[in-house]
Structure 1
Amino acid sequence: QKIGCDGRIGSGAAIDKCGVCGGNMEICRYVNGIFRTPHLTHDFHTVVIIPAGAGRINITETRNSRSCIALRSARNPSVMFINGKLKLGVLDHSGRYNVAGTQFEYNRPRFSNKGETMIATGPTNEDLEVLLFFQQENPGITYEYTIPKRNAQLPSIVGTTEPRGSSSLNGRNANERRGSRYYRKNYRNRITDAEAVDREDSSNSRRDITTVHRLNPPLLSGEPNPMGRTKWMKVGFGPCSQSCAEGTKSSNIKCIRLSTRQPVSDEYCTGQQKPRKQVRRCNRQACPAYYDVGDWLECSRTCGSGRRTRTVICRQLFSGNFTSAVSHSRCRGLSKPPSHERCLVRVCAHWAPAQEWSPCSSRCGAGTQSRHSVCKSGDGRILPNRECGSQRRPATMRTCDAGPCLTKWFITDWQQCSADCDRGQQRRNVVCINTANVPAGCPRRHQPEASRNCARSSCGVKHEWFAGKWGSCSSNCGRGIQTRKATCLSMATDGTMSVAPETNNRFPCEISEKPALQRPCNTQSCGSRWHYTQWTECSVSCGGGSRTRDVHCLDEAGLFSPLCKASHKPKAAETCNTISCFALRDPNCEDKRSDCEQLKRARLCKYKVFRDDCCATCPNPGSTHTSSLHGR
């Protein structure tokens, strides 16, 4: 059976949370919990506030992480006791710290997955605030402590342990036990463990603390000890507590059977004074150098690409648990972690167009276009304009060219004649382009014809209609027409066929049976096509001049378009009146004015009065001499 905390075998007595042997939490209140909040800012966060008077304090990180535990005064938060400079990247070393009337044992394992710990016996003399300096993750911080209850009394462990099978040492049984060789004659109640017994005096409310010391008696038994004489003895030393930087090792205390010098169970030495363990120093050499890597500082920019740094120091742990920075040459065989790196916090706010450019403000010539821009975040959210700061805002206005300012008639080529025989119709597009915005528009008296009569070669006459194949479409788009020919043939009784002649504009074939000669084709929209004006008057009446016309690509709505093929563009200029002026000159005519050449350059020769005065310089195209020249 196991020995309880009261020294009795099989008593089952254990130390409770208040630290009392055999207690049942009468003198204190036990408090515990865990801080697990996962998503925190990069700062200090309160884990728990431990009140004054607390004892048996244990603060433990569930596993190793980059976050750190810190301790400060709850009454004066500016007073930091442990890890107060974490924001500067400075981490306190493991060790003992005198805090609030007690001593805290702080430990941060370096080469282990275990988390940080802060342990204190207490009691504390002020309220303490336990903090978590959050960096990337919170694995969980457990805490526990006890608070004394008021007017509570500690239980006392009184008397010596009663021998098994008896409740008293009086009488014959006691004398028999005195005769046992396991009974120590001079045994008395001696000091071993201390218990504090509180007594409260109601008259002056003063508390006296009496320390009562008890020594458990030896094992008493009427039976001879099967092991014979036993004794506590030192048997070598245990392992060193550290592999370097000075550890300790303690002597092993074993219960030894003297007759065989072999260790036996400790219960056979119960009652004997166990010697204190001898402690020796060991492994005092310095530990191998290592890189001490600090936490990354904040990014140099709040948005966009920046840089961040951290401290990377070569350190060594020396005897006495003393850590010092050493030359980087001592870490030569190690891979040095980077001390700088690029960082991207988030995409910066930026200006972005909120819409496309508006239509040109002018129907022709130069105009302006506008658009609106907004400030957007990296994920596309619209932000206040101040978030984009001094960034250059995109242009909200630009110039535009709506084409030349015109008020002219534009026409297309004539379409194919609508009839195979007799008279038909030809059509063309006639469009007024009034980009100059003249109120009256294009002059009606100058409007070109949009249709005209036409005729093809006369159809033959026949008694039976025969239709040919459909021809190609007259246009690739728009109002295209396909045509075919139908012929009236006369057939002889021997099967020979001949074209029937037309009599009085009528065919012998039944007119109602005549097949359709045309049908629409390529009715899809033409889109954009070339349009042009009529030719201007020739610049000279002879000797080679030039004439021009406006040619523009227009869509179906009559607006300028860039979609016409350049290879299909009609000529916009050509030569004219190329016949020699000398050939047109009347040898009997002489100029009556000295400025005839200037009048000719001013294109005034078309007026009869100037032609008469300058008949040599401005020959009359309708003269007899001219006509005779043209006839040759």
Structure 2
Amino acid sequence: MFSRPVLSVGYHKILEIPAGATNIRIQETVKSKNYLALRTRGGVSIVNGNWAIDRPGMIVAAGTQLMYRRPNEVRSRTGESITALGPTKEELHLYLIYQQPDPRVLYEYRRPHNDTHTDPETYTHQNTLPLVEIVGTTHSGSDDTVTNGMGVSVDDVSRGRSHPNQVTSNPAVNPYSLAPPYSWVKTGHTTCSASCGGGRHRVQWVCEETESKTTVSDDLCGPAQRPLNQEVDCNTHPCPAFWDLGEWSECSRPCGPGSQHRQVICRQAPGNHSNSMATLIPVDVALCGDSDRPETTTSCQLKICSEWQIRSEWNPCSVPCGIGQRSRNVVCVGNHGDEEEEEECNIGVKPVALQNCDMGPCAHSWFTSLWSDQCSAECGRGSRSRSAVCLLDHVSNLPLDGCEGTRPQEVTSCDAGPCHHRLEWFTGPWGQCSAECGNGTQTRGVACLLRDDSLLEVVDQSNCSHLVRPMTSQRCHLKGCGVQWYVTDWSMCSRSCGGGYRVREVRCLTDSVTPSDLCESSLMPENQEECNTQPCLPDTDSSCQDQYYNCVMVVQARLCVYPYYRTTCCASCRKAPQTHTVHKNPLHGG
């Protein structure tokens, strides 16, 4: 038994098997990633040499046949084995290709001795009976005699003796006149055990009536006299050559791109081989077709050597309020923790290193809805309205006096054009809804008026019959009246000249001033627009300069009212009152 806890990776000699050894058996007691290797004393590889793993099977070497086996079932517990009957004609050396700890190899063989023995290659059987095509049973006496169909004993023929009933060469005598009535006749052979390279099949016999050549029951010929089912060679022509593919070796690298190799040999089973398992021998690659030769090397990668590692927590947001960005340190590291180039890691799974952050509104902001579409009057002066709310964050609101600055105007005047002796319907205010919640109805009064610029006169409703009479009743719903878009004032422009941008917040709110996602997205007001597109003029006061790079944020936060910021951000604060904005809201009329 060979056993070592740990060895270096590679070939290690286990045993030297002397010439003349017989009954050789080498067995790995436990299945492992190790391999057995065998070579001659002169260094010629027989099994698994030169770091190439051979296919299991019969191998002819050292004057004997060696059977190399490798388990391929998951449930198999034992490992590789090499067996041979021997005797070997030269000394063999057994090696272990070590790849896994704690190898265990059991081996045994019979040593050569000085006793004389017969060489199996030269030994032949004596007194072998010749093959007889037709034999039968003669029923002339109490003892049955196996004949050759001519009344001559096969035993006599083998001894060279004449039989009393042997037919002479007289042509006038019927050669079958002395033949037995029933005979064993060869009818053919069984299917050959191999389609090429040499197989075996057996002779098939039937009992036949000699005169009529009719097949009859085997009992009439005497089953005890039936010839043996002799095996003979068949299909001895060589098999086509083929590519014999060895197993792939281990990947050359434990991680990252590597390569693995296998042995590709053109083999062929020679013809007229007497064994049931034909021996495969290497032949010229031209017999297999060199252009169709399978690859001997392929790329492999057991795992990616490098991986992404998060080295820090998220940094604080880049702005104290509003929308900014935050970052964290994400690096590509190798197996030993060293930083590698990002190309060494899978960019598709890189953790996020930069993201937006919302620090909330920079101040308590006024949000207003859009102005109503139509003027309240059909002619003359009327009004349009909108709603204004003060918001602290996304989910709550403040009292109307909680916001900084003046409350936005909620009603504005409008002119619907002059009124000249014009008939129109006048509608009174809607009455109270008939239902406190859900759907209800409400009514109003309707009158026909004759309008001049300074005169209103109620006339008969028939005078307004050519006009569409307003409804006097409608459905009403006191609760859950819908949602609409609200916006804040525009921020300060990002640049005082030369073209910049300003932004505002846009939110969808319900009547109870809670966020909603039911607003029509196509009607959403713009949240960004260009501003201060006029060219920048040179600063005539060289002493008025910004002392900090982020003075734009000072202007946006409206801190220029303080003397300290007016001094440290002189240039930005001086340009702030000159900010020119461009409105894009069509509901504001320009």
Decide: shared fold, TM above 0.5.
Answer: no
Q: Larger C-alpha radius of gyration, 1 or 2? A: 1
**What's the TM-score bracket when you normalise by the shorter of the two chains?**
0.3 to 0.5
Output the TM-score relative to the length of structure 2: 0.34
